[in-house]
Amino acid sequence: MRFLHLSDLHLGKTVLEAPMIEDQRAALEAAVAAAVEHKAEAVVIAGDIYDRSVPPAEAVRLFDDFISELSVRGIAVLAVSGNHDSPERLEFGSRLFAGRGVHIAGYYDGTLRRVDLSDRYGSVHFYLLPFIKPAMVRAMSGEEVGNTDEAVRAALRDFRESDTSGRHVLIAHQFVCAGEQAPETCDSETASVGGSDNVDVSCFDGFDYVALGHLHRSQRIGRDTVRYSGSPLKYSLSEVRHVKSFTLVTLGQKGEIEIEQLPVTPLRDLRRIRGRLEELIAAVGENPSDSDDYIHAVLTGPDVLDPAARLRMVYPNLLHVEIEQRGRELDERAEYDPMEHKTEDELFEDFFMHVHGRGLDDDQRAVIQDVISRVKGGDEE
């Protein structure tokens, strides 16, 4: 059984106000081409299909095109919701889609959904676990769970109590750690606060492969067969050094598994460039094919008038210009953090905008500011 592991598509996302829909279409077309070239029988998508709960129409059309193309080619689709998705919207039509080989688990209903696919060695059991939080498990099962780790263990109880002698694949969207070792994160992801959202990798004992979503850097967690595929595109300036890829998984007989990273060539790369204005402009002549990339420019040297306008003449997709502070050179090894200088209420409003597609109104903003003030006051005591 061979399948492609994807996650964190974030369809409809903008990066510093630049719409990414064309880049996302190119990435999904590359995923279909990779699935066909490598004769994959399935594509699994481990959540965050959309960037917000009410996605723009073009994002919905793009996902429809993607799953339709795979279905026409006889490639099964198995997907779960992530924390950015609306479970109910993803669930719409799922029973009809299943007849075309498209299986989508939008919300957790108290049961662990299973889809069986077959190859020459027999059945492979795929388990679809949407993004869950303790309150969801308590509401559906009545079971008292205090944190996300306990919630995931409760949701997987049916699997652990079943015969695990066959081949089993889990698709999930959670923040997974290996003991005290946390995964590598970036600023475009929702943070796990205080460890309450952490799920230990031991939850997944018994699965032959665990296809994870939630984090944008491709990485293993605890063992090679528990993996984040990472996002197919760079979605923040902190990801400029990431190497994006699709994860190709080949299951042989029980215990035989091969994992390969297939590099993704984006329509436009996201890059950081640094130097004097005239140097950055001249560099385009040396590599004209790079001029269409998304650019974060760090300017050194004397101040110049309207550098963004001059750079945009040769870098049409310029995202951001930073003037390097005198006496403080940018550490090229460090990852730029655009949230570094934002206040707590500004960070919350950014998050609210991502989820709901609109900003806070005055009453909501006042409530948030009051809560933050109370929390800070409690800390001081």
Residues 180 and 275 in one domain: no
Residues 196 and 225 in one domain: yes
Q: Chain-wide mean pLDDT for the chain?
A: 88
Residues 278 and 185 in one domain: no
Residue 331 falls inside a structural domain: no
Residues 35 and 127 in one domain: yes
Residues 280 and 258 in one domain: no
Q: What is the pLDDT along the chain (381 residues), one digit of tens a residue?
A: 999 999 999 999 999 889 999 999 999 999 999 999 999 999 999 999 999 999 999 999 999 999 999 999 999 999 999 999 999 999 998 889 999 999 999 999 999 999 999 999 999 999 999 999 999 999 988 888 889 999 999 999 988 877 778 999 999 999 999 988 888 888 766 655 556 789 999 999 999 999 999 999 999 999 999 999 999 999 998 899 999 999 999 999 999 999 999 999 999 999 999 999 999 999 887 777 778 999 999 999 888 889 999 999 999 999 999 988 755 544 443 444 445 546 777 677 666 665 565 667 777 877 887 787 776 665 444
Cα 240 to chain centroid distance, Å, stands at: 15
Written as one string, the DSSP assignment of 247-284 is EEEEE-STT-EEEEEEE---SS-EEEEEE-HHHHHHHH
Cα gap 79→276, rounded to integer Å: 46
Residues 142 and 286 in one domain: no
Number of domains in the chain: 3
Please answer whether residues 44 and 81 qualify as being in contact, where contact means their C-beta atoms are separated by less than 8 angstroms.
Answer: no
Residues 199 and 64 in one domain: yes
Residues 224 and 317 in one domain: no
pLDDT on residue 190: 60
Q: What is the pTM of this model?
A: 0.83
Residue 182 falls inside a structural domain: yes
Please answer whether residues 61 and 48 qualify as being in contact, where contact means their C-beta atoms are separated by less than 8 angstroms.
Answer: no
Residue 335 falls inside a structural domain: no
Residues 131 and 153 in one domain: yes
Residues 303 and 162 in one domain: no
CATH code of the domain in which 59 resides: 3.60.21.10
Domain residues for the domain of 213 are 2-263
Which residue in 183, 187, 174, 186 sits closest to 219, CA to CA?
A: 183
Residue 363 falls inside a structural domain: yes
Residue 174 falls inside a structural domain: yes
Residues 205 and 283 in one domain: no
Residue 112 falls inside a structural domain: yes
Residue 184 falls inside a structural domain: yes
